[in-house]
Amino acid sequence: MKITKVQVLRANRSVFCKIHTDEGLTGLGESGAWGFLEASARAIDVFADYLVGKDPLDIEHHWQYLYRFSHFRGAAVMGALSAVDIALWDIAGKWYSAPVYKLLGGACRDKVRVYNHTAGRTEEELVENAIRGVEEGYTALGHLNPYLDEPRTSPYRDGNAAMLYKAERRIAKIREAVGQEVDLCLELHRRLEPGLAVQLSARLEPYNPMFLEDPIRPDNFDAMAETARKCRIPIATGERIHTVHEFEMLLARGACSYVRASLGVCGGFTGAKKIAAVAEAHHASLVPHNPLSPVMTNAVLQFCAATDNIAVCEYPSPYAASTADHLTGSGVQLRQCDMVDRIPTFHDGYLEVPQTPGIGIDLVRDVEEKFPFRPHQVMTRLNADGSICDQ
């Protein structure tokens, strides 16, 4: 079997890689490069020059070749490699008539616990959506932002004291509303400096969050480690790093309890399984990062099914236009689930693992025409004084 064509598909807010073979089998993957999807699409085109004519089942070799052939990487390149890798595993599953998780070592679980995206542009809306999430069957609520999901066009005006008191008040209200048996996964969007993050952690301890995600900017592993040492609430981080080597350095410093590896930028299945092994050696669990389309959700489910040290998994709504549209309330009238031929079944806080060969999903015909590509705009929020506000 040989690869005959590597196709880039741009649709909605996604870039997909579709690999064709002379046996008629195709594989589908998705890049997680987010704000750099167009650059990632071009990197897939570059990789195509190497891949055409190769055996798609030599996945590890192709991964090493594409990862190591150039002197430079970054999110766009790793997003492209991730999309290619997922597509190759999809082909392998179809070739062997098995879901990908069977090829990754078999089932550790037959369903995957997930958390939703609980958004809120006001305090009242945040609490209402938390209650709605529990009513829908979720046992964990995620992307809970104690600083709200306000428009990026609105300047942020709170000082440190207001940030602490408001965050505590909002999480207290949510805990009271949903009870003691629901896990709260807090997303801090890199908003704080280390000292303020430690203060916030102390104030939120009585409400028992499952973790604080990215309380500070994740660029400095030592700073994250120092924050983790001083916080009694576990830290989750990792969505912005790409390689097993970076994750090993992060974990060796004790910088997190939960690893937020993203299959869309960490090298697909091949990269993620290596990161999971390193995390296991450090007694750390994975909370896979996934703000992408149902294609990536299916890939993540295959990975989680075959990986023991999974704590919970992020689940973006397939009924929203995209995660960005869901969180900002853009009002775009389309659904990601309409881009694909099926989505996994959700019941009582879990997603069932697809059992069809490969990753178990495909795009609808003419997806690019039906869902025109909408790249993310270069836009970030500002503080009242005009400086950058991470959100």
C-alpha 136, offset from chain centre: 21
At 17, which helix (H) or strand (E)? Answer: strand 14-21
Identify the residue whose tokens are 């079997």.
Answer: 1
Could you tell me the two tokens for 338? 């309409």
Residue (of 68, 12, 73) closest to 40 by Cα position = 73
Identify the residue whose tokens are 């410093």.
Answer: 253
**Torsion angle, CA of 208/211/217/223, rounded to 10 degrees?**
80
DSSP of 255-267, one letter per residue?
A: --SEE---TTTTT
Q: What CA–CA distance (Å, rounded) separates 298 from 93?
A: 13
Q: What CA–CA distance (Å, rounded) separates 227 from 237?
A: 12
According to DSSP, residue 156 is labeled B
Q: What CA–CA distance (Å, rounded) separates 227 from 127?
A: 28
Known catalytic residues are 189, 289
Residue 27 near residue 88, CB atoms below 8 Å: yes
According to DSSP, residue 35 is labeled G
